[in-house]
Amino acid sequence: MPIATTGLVLRQVKLGEADQILTLLTPDLGVISASAKGSLRLKNKLFSACGHFSYSEFVLTSGRSHYFVDDAQVKKVFYGVSSTVEGLALASYMAEVAAELSPAPPEAEAQLRLLLNCLYMICEKKRPWRQLKAIYELRALCLAGYMPDVLACSACGKYDGGSFYFSPAEGRLLCAACADRERHLPNLDPGALYALRHICLSEDNKLFSFSLADASLKNLSGVCEQYLLTHLEHGLKTLDFLKTVVE
């Protein structure tokens, strides 16, 4: 029985001359693999809808180990991510993270919405790449069930004032004094701490609504990246490539 769903193409693997296996992030099936026969031919009806970073309506048939694409219609193609090497690298990194987290319903719907919004922001060049990267890393982890404790120092309860230390392994905050007692160096200045809390706790429509000085943004980016890598427990090739084009 055919299954209708929307999905974002996270990855393409070519098979033969014109076939490919797609990795799709869908709201109601989660992350799935789907065969798209003939979709690499320019005149094939699936060509546009099955391209990288295409958000499309799919009609699928379920097989033993994966799905088959029977039909697909484009809803949105994020062409703008390819306008710069930095944008393409960042979008590819986000797509790999989404595939690694492999969210299942109902979480998948929120993860898909987050990624679509981030791709839109990359296309529009509305925020610095470090900010978009940090937002995606931390918010995606929060949605996946790894919400850190960002309300106050976990040792003494201090809320603000001065620098703080965020533990990527434990997902908790320590003020500078408590961090020193535990032999940690602060890695968040006040601006970065505010942004960390904002990303974790804000509503979707306010998620991107903040700005930071370059130094604070660099601190935030480093903390969010380490938090993600700690929970994934391995590196990502797309992250390595991103760093070669932006640093």
Query: Could you read off the pLDDT of 55-105 as tens digits, one per residue?
Result: 999 999 998 888 999 999 999 999 999 999 999 999 999 999 999 999 999
pTM across the whole model:
0.95
**pLDDT tens column, 169-199:** 999 999 999 999 999 999 999 999 999 999 9
**pLDDT tens column, 197-218:** 999 999 999 999 999 999 999 9
pLDDT at 64: 81
CA distance 96 to 100: 6
CATH 1.20.1440.120 residue window(s) in the chain? 81-246
CATH 2.40.50.140 residue window(s) in the chain? 3-77
φ, ψ of residue 128 to 5 degrees: the values are -60, 150
According to the CATH classification, is domain 3-77 in 3.40.30.10? Answer: no
- Helix and strand numbers (H, E) in the chain are 7, 8
Give residue 126's pLDDT band: very low, low, confident or very high (50, 70, 90): confident
CA distance 25 to 9: 7
Q: For residue 71, give the H/E element and its range.
A: strand 67-77
CA distance 85 to 125: 13
CA distance 174 to 205: 29
81-246 CATH fold: de novo design (two linked rop proteins) (1.20.1440)
pLDDT at 1: 83
- Whether residue 36 contacts residue 24, with contact meaning beta carbons closer than 8 Å, is answered with no
**pLDDT tens column, 25-66:** 999 999 999 999 999 999 999 999 999 999 999 999 998 888
